Amino acid sequence: MTAAVEFQSVSRQFGTGPGAVRAVDAVDLTIAEGSFFAMLGPSGSGKTTCLRLISGFEQPSSGTIRIFGQDVSTIPPNRRNVNTVFQDYALFPHMNVRDNVAYGLRVKGMGRAQRHAKAEEMLALVQLPDYGDRKPGQLSGGQRQRVALARALVNEPRVLLLDEPLGALDLKLREAMQDELKALQQRLGITFVFVTHDQHEALSMADSLAVFNQGRIAQIGTPAEIYDRPRTRFVADFVGSSNVLPPAVTQAMGGPARWASLRPEHTRLAATGPLSGTVTALRYLGAATRVVMKTGDTEIAALVPAGHPLPEPGHSTAIAFDPKDLHVMEDE
């Protein structure tokens, strides 16, 4: 499959001398054409800087960036076949929705009738067919997000960059928009590169994702690979909720003396088992209750489905699990 975006040993450093910050550190990355790719990581991990490097708003300090095989390291943003949807949408408040969507076509010199027709086509695509005459201030957050998406798509980019575009929405609307964005990407067939710090967004939407930490990529893979087989303690702890077990505990549970990950949903309470401890907390989650047990200095959580009996805090319990779910990790 053709690579839409390639990073070859790309670094981006801000400042010089002892106070210099390397926001992106020798990143190698390949994003396949037509994929929905997510960049996931905490604040300051380098994911947004990578997005800005693709868009051209930042220049690499070293390394090479290619878009569909073309070295774009010295090409300005307006000459790259990419568009960006920002978290704050950046809509012009004095323009109506139609003119906001058509603005990029206006800059390119397209005639009024033609650009308005294309804007209406894009508004229909994002399910806002009758909103062209409204101002952004008359729209809900989800509607403004759709307008920003239509404005980016009207220029027919080969790569669409999305910088945490759902961050300002409430939970229910954000989940609905996740489904809409994924369906739209599949319908259009263009490459989406989505930056988020929300693990659930990345896992539910992406075909593949890169987990960033301190300017480097900690792991690249499919959502299932990242979740079920995290390479390092950071990935196991950041992506989903995991029991990150030190070597001595892993060994006591029948594994090698290595750091390991065991997801709470793969952990069950039992009368006897390879490891026992004291229940320290019960956290009701609706469909299940998270039971936290402490053994020595290590806390281990198990998910107990609703309706099943629960131990009391302070009582002793043991855990059981399928050995295949105990995933041994690499050293950091």
pLDDT (tens digit per residue) in 119-168: 999 899 888 888 999 999 998 888 888 898 899 898 889 999 999 887 76
Tokens matching residue 292: 């936290």
Please say if the pLDDT value at position 5 is more than 90: yes
Say if residue 153 is exposed, middle or buried (CB neighbours under 10 Å; 0-12, 13-18, 19+): buried
Predicted TM-score of the model (pTM): 0.89
Residues facing residue 268 across a β-bridge: 320
Superfamily of domain 3-235 in the CATH hierarchy: P-loop containing nucleotide triphosphate hydrolases (3.40.50.300)
- The arrangement of secondary structure in 243-328, i.e. its CATH architecture, is Beta Barrel (2.40)
**Beta 36-40 vs 208-213: how paired, if at all?**
parallel
Residues of the chain with CATH 3.40.50.300: 3-235
Find the mean pLDDT for residues 244-260. 93
Residues of the chain with CATH 2.40.50.140: 243-328
Q: Is the dihedral of CA 62, 65, 71, 76 positive or negative?
A: negative
Confidence of residue 1 (pLDDT cuts 50, 70, 90): low
CB 60 within 8 A of CB 12: yes
CB atoms within 10 A of CB 313: 12
